[in-house]
Amino acid sequence: MALRAIASRKTLAALGSGLRAQARLATTAAAAAASRGLVTFSLPDLPYDYGALEPAVSAEIMQLHHQKHHQSYVTNYNKALEQLEDAVARDDAPAVVKLQSAIKFNGGGHINHSIFWKNLAPIHEGGGEPPKGSLGWAIDADFGSWEAFVQKMNAEGAALQGSGWVWLGLDKEFKKLVVETTANQDPLVTKGANLVPLIGIDVWEHAYYLQYKNAKPDYLKNIWKVIDWKYASEVYEKECR
Amino acid sequence: MATATVAATAPLSNGFLLRRGPNEGAKSARSLQRTKNQRQSASSRRFGAAVITAKFDLKPPPYPLNALEPHMSANTLSFHWGKHHRAYVDNLNKQIVGTELEAKSLEDIVIQTYNDGDLLPPFNNAAQIWNHDFFWESMKPGGGGKPSGELLKLIERDFGSFEKLCEELRAAAATQFGSGWAWLAFNPRPSDGKELLVVKSPNAVNPLVLGYIPLLTIDVWEHAYYLDYQNRRPDYISIFMEKLVSWDAVSAKLEVAKAQAA
């Protein structure tokens, strides 16, 4: 868990372990909870240095975003789940219901950011390269062209009021690609049970403000230089088999 | 009570219009001034076309942009007021050209485009202009301290103590998920006798649309604090309460609210 404080080069292997890391015990609180049989989540390591996405996204933003914002979602998600377990154990239905917004917000924050880190890569590791293969063809088919797709993502992201995310998703029932937005930390599935997130772009102000200030459209234009399609392609191919 | 003013303005037809009545028209000094400042800008009069374009102006804060240093930096004000607030004004002006909203006051546009929660496109810009005007007025250089007089009396009556109010306000500001605002507001028709209440609202929503009269606000959109405090929203909230809040402004707004409700 403290691994994230070391700004050393992280391998792609850590990418896969990120999800498994969720089940790993990382803190005293987590250890205590786990000794009661409660699953806890932990902050996944980034598979690249904080500065590796510059100049598209600054190191300062990456570090705050990962170490503070995402960590806070993880911590509060774990807290909410523990409180949920207690509420269920004592049959406190009002308390169970009251906890739902904290679970959705913090759990959603953890889910969304975990995907986001996998959607990014340094340029020398493939970041910025449009997708090839079946996902690349699907984008052409469903949006007309790569340019039209990017334009749609950026338009939706720019138009989103308040905090939220813009997504490329796969409707796995119809095998169609869609561009969707969600508010706050709502995961994509809240827009449709059949929607699988492929690419998510965080348009909360914390994702860009220190660098781009109010110029959200500039952030959206630049982040494509470090958007990586390996994860998205894997998920797409698996769902469309 | 509010029938005359209401009929002249928004077409909404539900119960809370009655509570909203005191806010409108020429009754309150505050809204009069706001209407005066916000309604007409002669700069957009066009000859020959016989069209008068009512435009809103970007109202400056009641202090220089560096006056809230070091608690809220001039850098933040230059972006928050100079870019964000300005963009809301520019964009609303573009949106209302050629529509019936052109002739209305800012508050009327906010209420009308709130549309009972089914937000119409101009709502975001209109409400955010209103909210930011109000936010600058909620602060002052050398702010903080404690309220006094009638305001303190009401706070102690409705919250138990000033400390309890601060606790509630801080909690509301800290737990507003995503973007939004925390408010101290006046309820002209409280069912439980408590006229003061703390409200939190998402994005551009404000207590006006809920039928309350705002007294104080703190902006908790990330752009309000990120340059100075980064992710540390609780620190920003503390500094706001300890060093920035203008209880004088709150007292003045309370006086107006009580006069309207009487």
Our CA-based measurement puts residue B182 at a distance from the nearest CA of chain A, in whole angstroms, of 15
Torsions phi, psi of B201, nearest 5?
Answer: -140, 150
The answer, yes or no, to whether residue B40 has pLDDT greater than 80, is no
A137 and A97 in a common domain: no
Sign of the CA dihedral with B29 first, then B141, B68, and B250 last? negative
Of the partner residues A105, A204, A213, the one whose CB lies closest to the CB of residue B83: A213
Confidence class for position A211, pLDDT limits 50, 70, 90: very high
Question: How far is the C-alpha of B119 from the C-alpha of A114, rounded, in Å?
Answer: 32
Which pLDDT belongs to residue B262? 83
User: Which CATH number do you get for residue B182?
Assistant: 3.55.40.20
Which pLDDT belongs to residue A66? 98
| Average pLDDT of span B99-111 | 96
The answer, yes or no, to whether residue B30 has pLDDT greater than 60, is no
The answer, yes or no, to whether residue A33 has pLDDT greater than 90, is no
A84 and A137 in a common domain: no
Summarize pLDDT for B164-213 with one digit per residue, the tens: 999 999 999 999 999 999 999 999 999 999 999 999 999 999 999 999 99
The answer, yes or no, to whether residue A27 has pLDDT greater than 60, is no
Window 116-175 of B: residues touching A by CB (8 A cutoff) are 124
In a domain, B159, yes or no: yes
Number of domains composing chain A: 2
| Average pLDDT of span B131-140 | 98
How large is the C-alpha radius of gyration of chain B? 18
- Rounded to two decimals, the pTM is 0.83
- Using an 8 Å Cβ cutoff, are B199 and B210 in contact? yes
A107 and A175 in a common domain: no
In a domain, B101, yes or no: yes
A165 and A67 in a common domain: no
Question: How far is the C-alpha of B161 from the C-alpha of B159, rounded, in Å?
Answer: 6
- Using an 8 Å Cβ cutoff, are A128 and A227 in contact? yes
A154 and A191 in a common domain: yes
Assigned token pair, B84: 């964000």
Look up the ipTM and state it. 0.85
Are the Cβ atoms of A210 and B202 closer than 8 angstroms?
Answer: no
Question: How far is the C-alpha of B208 from the C-alpha of B114, rounded, in Å?
Answer: 10
| Better-scored residue on pLDDT, A166 or A240 | A166
Instruction: Using an 8 Å CB-CB cutoff, list chain B residues near A206.
Output: 222, 226, 230-231
Confidence class for position A4, pLDDT limits 50, 70, 90: very low
Confidence class for position B54, pLDDT limits 50, 70, 90: low
Our CA-based measurement puts residue B71 at a distance from the nearest CA of chain A, in whole angstroms, of 18
Mean confidence (pLDDT) of chain B:
86
A216 and A114 in a common domain: no
Are the Cβ atoms of A161 and B204 closer than 8 angstroms?
Answer: yes
∠B82-B84-B87 over CA atoms, to 5°? Answer: 90
A234 and A141 in a common domain: yes
Q: Mutating which of A163, A165, A211 best tests the B interface, going by the most B Cβ atoms within 10 A?
A: A163
| Average pLDDT of span B72-92 | 98
Torsions phi, psi of A179, nearest 5?
Answer: -105, 125
| Average pLDDT of span B88-103 | 95
Confidence class for position A39, pLDDT limits 50, 70, 90: confident
Which pLDDT belongs to residue A241? 82
CA nearest B169: which of B217, B127, B124?
Answer: B217
Which pLDDT belongs to residue A29? 62
Confidence class for position A31, pLDDT limits 50, 70, 90: low
Query: Is the Cβ of B84 closer than 8 Å to some Cβ of chain A?
Result: yes
A177 and A94 in a common domain: no
In a domain, A221, yes or no: yes
| Average pLDDT of span B213-218 | 98
Which pLDDT belongs to residue B55? 86
A195 and A149 in a common domain: yes
Of the partner residues A161, A183, A205, the one whose CB lies closest to the CB of residue B223: A205
Domain range enclosing B232: 74-261
A113 and A164 in a common domain: no
**A–B: how many Cβ contacts below 8 A?**
53
In a domain, B80, yes or no: yes
Number of domains composing chain B: 1
Domain range enclosing A202: 125-240
A234 and A132 in a common domain: yes
A213 and A138 in a common domain: yes
Are the Cβ atoms of A163 and B227 closer than 8 angstroms?
Answer: no
User: Which CATH number do you get for residue A77?
Assistant: 1.10.287.990
In a domain, A213, yes or no: yes
A-chain residue closest to B220, CA distance: A162
Instruction: Using an 8 Å CB-CB cutoff, list chain B residues near A214.
Output: 79, 83-84, 87, 223
Assigned token pair, B261: 């409700």
